[in-house]
Structure 1
Amino acid sequence: MFSKNTKYNFKVKTVFLLMFLVCFQFSVIAQNPTWKPASFEVVNKYKTFKTTQYAHVFSGSKHNIVRLAPDLQGLTGVELPLDQYKKGSNAPLQLKFKENVQVLIGVFQEKENPEYLQFNNSAKAKLILENGITITGLPPVNVYAISYSKGTQTINPGKGLFAVLGVVKENQQLTFRNAELPDGKLWNPTFIIEGFSDEKPLFEIIGGENKPVVDEGMSGTGGIQGGFEGGRVVKVGDTYHMFPTERAGEKGVDYYYDRVKTKIGHWTSKDAIHWKRESTIYQASGTYAITEDDNPMNDRRAAIWSYMPVFNEKANKWYGYYLAYTVSKTIEPNHSFGRIWRCESTVEGIDGIGGPYKDMGIIMEPGLDSEPWEGRQGVASFFPYKVGDKYFGFYSGAYPFNSWADYPKKTGKGWSVALAESNSLEGPWSRIKDGSNPIKTMHPFFVENPIVSQLPNGLYIAFFDGGPDGWGHHLPNMMAYSLSKDGKNWSEARYLPIETKVDKWWDIMRTPLCLIPEGNDVYTIVYNAIDLKRRFHPTGMVKVKLNKEVMESRLKELK
């Protein structure tokens, strides 16, 4: 039983608790306002879009949303024809409203540029969000609200390009604030995102695991401090075989060393979800260089990365191609002067994939054949594939030199790929010297770790790391693919926003390890990604479905 004072204290505490909860709830609402959309009809033939991350904002363009204030999330915008609005030759937008509304207009903040609407705050237009949305390749955006009455209205606030980001109810309270979102010109060039552009997507993302499939603390991860990055997954019979780079590092040593002391592991799975570690294929020394240049005094196998298993039907055995680096402790990039090694399984046949493997020598390395764009990090990856009677191999470079006068320390930024050729998987491999390298058609300055396969109609497809939106880089932060009809000329990249169908457990998307056909046009992709709150970089899995109609139309489009 409560005493009188106890009951009083209980009532007082209850009142204060209720007041706190009400204030807390109000605070949450204030911090996360939800703007009520108003329905409308587009009178002329402009399309609409959902105002979300990745949405392509203008018809006939690749400009898309990469940041937006949460207030705008989920509203319905209108795709205006970019070039026509910039030139002032557009047919003015007409919208039909069932009630009085406020139209939210994005105005680009580039003064005295006639291509953009020059807009000043007025009684008719109310500034509600400063720096309220970021659109790739375009100036900072302020968002204004303009009131319109019920009925058919012409939305024509002035000459030049603007964005229609949504329509909300007239009685919606819109309070000004600065969302402090970055300048869209930091993202350059713009890029095509599957499912958000005007074109139909080649792949539909149909789902996958909402959490990592290999994560810290799981069986087999002991002794791996930093998780995984790169490598390849192949399927033999009903078993998946994964050969990731394990960022082993050492306990008690700074996380930076995870990228230096690495292992190549062999993992197996029956479903690409539950994995078992089978063995270590290779282990790096983790020894730092003693000179700044590419000197044989340095340990040239200090870090080992990017193991690519390929079955050679002629030799009836598995070959492995992998990357060995010299590692600098003080010079960016710390991974320097990459060399590509080839190894062979000592067990013949398709079931010999687990090895053991023996080294057969270096097939590509820095030398007189190198070009300045390969930079201090090149040769930075390698993947061979067959085209007709010959073989091509993607190789890469990073931290380029403008000229050889910059060697060995004065580097720029850029991650590029190129092609080598050979008459056999054994080599010799030669860099193609016809002026086509590096390949800029996929993306002008970031393509990393491409893995090539073929679609049912013969198209070659390369899946690769599309680059981080982090560490000072403003890149798509999605895995990407490029298509080729002849295995040499590659199309502009398309990017896969897999977080639209699986929970986004990562901050930075990294490398896809495979595109494995499962039947009925469904494919499995295993990938690496980074949660910045953690040292350990996990591995995930997603399923996609191929649209054969789009596949055939892409084949016709390619030269």
Structure 2
Amino acid sequence: MFSKDTKYNFKLKTAFIMLVTVCVQATAQTTAWKPASFEIVKSKYKTFKTAQYAHVFSGSKHNIARLAPELQGLTGIELPLDKYKNENNAPLQLKFKEQVQVLIGVFQENNSDYLQADKFQNVKLILENGLTITGLPPVNVYAISFSKGTQTLNFGKGLFAVLGVVKASEKLEPRNANFPDGKLWNPTFIVEGFSDEKPLFEVIGGENKPVIDEGMSGTEGIQGGFEGGRVVKVGDMYHMFPTERAGEKGVDYYYDRVKTKIGHWTSKDAIHWKRESTIYQASGTYAVTEDDNPMNDRRAAIWSYMPIFNEKANKWYGYYLAYTVSKEIEPNHSFGRIWRCESTVDGIDGIGGPYKNIGIIMEPGLDSLPWEGRQGVASFFPYQVGDKYFGFYSGAYPFNSWADYPKKSGKGWFVALAESKSLEGPWLRMNKGLEPIKTMHPLFVENPIVSQLPNGMYIAIFDGGPDGWGHHLPNMIAYSLSADGINWAEAHYLPIETKVDKWWDIMRTPLCLIPEGNDVYTIVYNAIDLKRRFHPTGMVKVKLNKDVMESKLKELKK
């Protein structure tokens, strides 16, 4: 699992929260500028609402990641990226009913691909570093005055962004918004509903606050909240098996990720939850050596419980992760091992267990590869394809080579596939000697859960990576599609905050994609509010577009 569990990083997080608070206070007096209406003449360019995730250029994946509040809600124009970079574009004509100011985003890089600010006349710099567009240089925002009537915006060669049009009377107070370079978000990513592609899923609503939060019944003794696991639905009952970051009272937050539990919760509506039992409890015992040594407690932390019903055996199997933990080395979770357990109660209703351990099915060994890193094996999810079984297994904090073992690890969260003839195993790593699956995302894929859509296409829903702690990742729930269960397509990301109130700073792990009928699916997820130690659980509903689903399958089969 993703880990930042040292006192040093706790100080960093505290500093980050203080910085965010200062920035919020500094910008509290800014308000959105009032827009002026306009009409696009003689072109079919689309417009966009200037807001987070807005798709700024057609023919690209670039999105707004940060923006000054003054720009919020204005209407921008989607310019074709390649045409403007190569000056193959027709001049942009706009018709105004009054005198206006057009807001232009200029990229701060002396490169012929980008329009240079010295090409303008009678302009005013109003926002230095006024917004961040993924994969592109820092952006300064200029205001250019135009009179009433049809006007031509022909600035010459180079890409720029049209971010909005405001009334001439609007007072535009210059300032430095201090937003970061968009190239930190590299590669760019596809956000559902904010690109040239039609979305596979529409976010249709959900709960505007956590469904499980600190102080609710069942959370007693859970200091740090939840992260990861799985939710399944049996009949009309939801069953959740989250990792409970139990920790201890009076012990700092880092121990929440060491002393963990696997809980069993139930619900009739995925909103009101009842804690039923503890499936497993980690020891919370720190290692005595830095290497993968049997002297250490290899079940010191337990994570990522995945219940799977084995129809052939007529019982529930559980697959979960057990770590060695260290006080001295980051990440403090190390040398993951995947255990399999079985319910002692036969049948579909035996999901609550109790469970008995059968043994380890995957662990660090001679067939491990350096990319699995210090945390590998860091998660496991099995699924059936025909008469075979495949399993996503993961690694994190990779080694460049085994010479870096055990301390010198890099950054990256990757997955690959194992295969077996049965759910019992043995499980063998596929593609030995090759890199992990990077078609989904080259830097971050964590905790994928696989199911099938109505047309048989496989879908993996997973943690898309945090935008925080020095990482510039999408910070959204992600999904990837596959026609054969082996080859996986580029990830798409679900901006659920467009339809539910955003109570989190950092989005973490989705626990399910459960079909409810009428093409509606339930997602239960964990997320982090940086102002709090407790990590709550939320719920959202999405609707599947079957036409898009069929077109996606055709694309994958080409």
Aligned to 2:93: 94
Name the CA shift for 1:317/1:29 in 2 (closer, same or farther; >3 Å): closer
Q: Write the mapping of 1:239-254 to structure 2, written as runs, cut at 5 A.
A: 239-254=237-252
1:383–1:395 contact (8 Å) kept in structure 2: yes
Give the AA of the match of 1:299.
Answer: D
3-state SS of paired residue (1:445): coil
Aligned to 2:387: 389
1:409 is matched with which residue: 393, 407, 410?
407
Question: 1-side partners of 2:121 and 2:31: how far apart?
Answer: 24
1:399–1:412 contact (8 Å) kept in structure 2: yes
Q: Write the mapping of 1:75-224 to structure 2, written as runs, cut at 5 A.
A: 75-111=74-110, 113-120=111-118, 124-224=122-222
Structure 1 residue 121, shift from structure 2 partner: 8.5
Aligned to 2:8: none
CA deviation map 1:197-229 (0-9, x unaligned): 111111111101111001111011000000000
Q: Write the mapping of 1:356-375 to structure 2, written as runs, cut at 5 A.
A: 356-375=354-373
Structure 1 residue 120, shift from structure 2 partner: 2.9
Give the AA of the match of 2:96.
Answer: F
Q: Write the mapping of 1:500-515 to structure 2, written as runs, cut at 5 A.
A: 500-515=498-513
Structure 2 unmatched ranges of 5 or more: 1-24
Question: 2-side partners of 1:107 and 1:153: how far apart?
Answer: 20
3-state SS of paired residue (1:557): helix
Structure 1 residue 289, shift from structure 2 partner: 0.5
Structure 1 residue 33, shift from structure 2 partner: 2.6
2:261–2:302 contact (8 Å) kept in structure 1: yes
Structure 1 residue 158, shift from structure 2 partner: 2.9
Aligned to 2:280: 282
Question: 2-side partners of 1:122 and 1:433: how far apart?
Answer: 55
Aligned to 1:11: none
3-state SS of paired residue (2:349): helix
3-state SS of paired residue (1:458): coil
- TM-score, structure 2 normalization: 0.94
Question: 1-side partners of 2:154 and 2:137: how far apart?
Answer: 20
2:371–2:435 contact (8 Å) kept in structure 1: no
2:247–2:255 contact (8 Å) kept in structure 1: yes
Question: 1-side partners of 2:157 and 2:416: how far apart?
Answer: 44
1:484 is matched with which residue: 474, 482, 485?
482
Give the AA of the match of 2:185.
Answer: W
Question: 1-side partners of 2:152 and 2:121: how far apart?
Answer: 18
1:268 is matched with which residue: 246, 250, 266?
266
Question: 1-side partners of 2:267 and 2:542: how far apart?
Answer: 19
1:544 is matched with which residue: 539, 542, 545?
542
3-state SS of paired residue (1:120): helix
Q: Write the mapping of 1:509-548 to structure 2, written as runs, cut at 5 A.
A: 509-548=507-546
CA deviation map 1:368-397 (0-9, x unaligned): 000000000000000000000000000000
1:121–1:127 contact (8 Å) kept in structure 2: no
1:424 pairs with 2:422: yes
2:554 is matched with which residue: 553, 556, 559?
556
Structure 1 residue 122, shift from structure 2 partner: 6.2
CA deviation map 1:243-298 (0-9, x unaligned): 00000000000110000000000000000000000000000000000111101110
1:230 pairs with 2:228: yes
3-state SS of paired residue (2:217): coil
3-state SS of paired residue (2:551): helix
Q: Write the mapping of 1:435-454 to structure 2, written as runs, cut at 5 A.
A: 437-454=435-452
Aligned to 2:12: none
Aligned to 2:473: 475
3-state SS of paired residue (2:127): strand
Q: 263-272 or 145-154: which moved more?
A: 145-154
Aligned to 1:22: none
CA deviation map 1:504-549 (0-9, x unaligned): 0111000000000111001100000000111000000001111101
Question: 2-side partners of 1:364 and 1:347: how far apart?
Answer: 25
Aligned to 1:463: 461
Structure 1 unmatched ranges of 5 or more: 1-26
Structure 1 residue 171, shift from structure 2 partner: 1.5
3-state SS of paired residue (2:118): coil
Question: 2-side partners of 1:30 and 1:185: how far apart?
Answer: 27
2:32–2:73 contact (8 Å) kept in structure 1: no
Question: 1-side partners of 2:169 and 2:500: how far apart?
Answer: 36
Structure 1 residue 157, shift from structure 2 partner: 2.2
Give the AA of the match of 2:107.
Answer: F
1:331–1:409 contact (8 Å) kept in structure 2: yes
**Greater RCO, 1 or 2 (C-alpha within 8 Å, sep 6+):** 2
Give the AA of the match of 2:47.
Answer: T
Aligned to 2:13: none
Question: 2-side partners of 1:518 and 1:74: how far apart?
Answer: 34
Give the AA of the match of 2:370.
Answer: P
Name the CA shift for 1:237/1:330 in 2 (closer, same or farther; >3 Å): same
Structure 1 residue 84, shift from structure 2 partner: 1.3
Displaced runs of 4 or more, over 4 A = 27-30, 434-437
3-state SS of paired residue (2:552): helix
Give the AA of the match of 2:51.
Answer: T
Question: 2-side partners of 1:466 and 1:156: how far apart?
Answer: 39
CA deviation map 1:326-362 (0-9, x unaligned): 0011101100000000000000000000000001100
3-state SS of paired residue (1:190): coil
Structure 1 residue 399, shift from structure 2 partner: 0.3
Q: Which has the larger radius of gyration?
A: 1
Aligned to 1:20: none
3-state SS of paired residue (1:549): helix
Question: 1-side partners of 2:473 and 2:197: how far apart?
Answer: 21
CA RMSD of aligned residues (A): 1.3
Structure 1 residue 436, shift from structure 2 partner: 5.8
Give the AA of the match of 1:373.
Answer: W
2:119–2:155 contact (8 Å) kept in structure 1: no
Aligned to 2:52: 53
Aligned to 2:68: 69
Structure 1 residue 100, shift from structure 2 partner: 1.4
3-state SS of paired residue (1:31): coil
Instruction: Indicate the percent of aligned positions where both proteins have the same amino acid.
Output: 87
1:118–1:158 contact (8 Å) kept in structure 2: no
Question: 2-side partners of 1:163 and 1:408: how far apart?
Answer: 47
Give the AA of the match of 2:380.
Answer: F
1:419–1:437 contact (8 Å) kept in structure 2: no
1:307 is matched with which residue: 298, 301, 305?
305
Question: 2-side partners of 1:276 and 1:161: how far apart?
Answer: 54
Aligned to 1:14: none
Structure 1 residue 29, shift from structure 2 partner: 11
Give the AA of the match of 2:430.
Answer: I
Question: 2-side partners of 1:248 and 1:213: how far apart?
Answer: 18
Name the CA shift for 1:177/1:29 in 2 (closer, same or farther; >3 Å): closer
2:367–2:432 contact (8 Å) kept in structure 1: no
1:379 pairs with 2:391: no
Structure 1 residue 150, shift from structure 2 partner: 1.6
Question: 2-side partners of 1:268 and 1:531: how far apart?
Answer: 24
3-state SS of paired residue (2:117): coil
2:324 is matched with which residue: 319, 323, 326?
326
Name the CA shift for 1:411/1:434 in 2 (closer, same or farther; >3 Å): closer
Name the CA shift for 1:309/1:333 in 2 (closer, same or farther; >3 Å): same
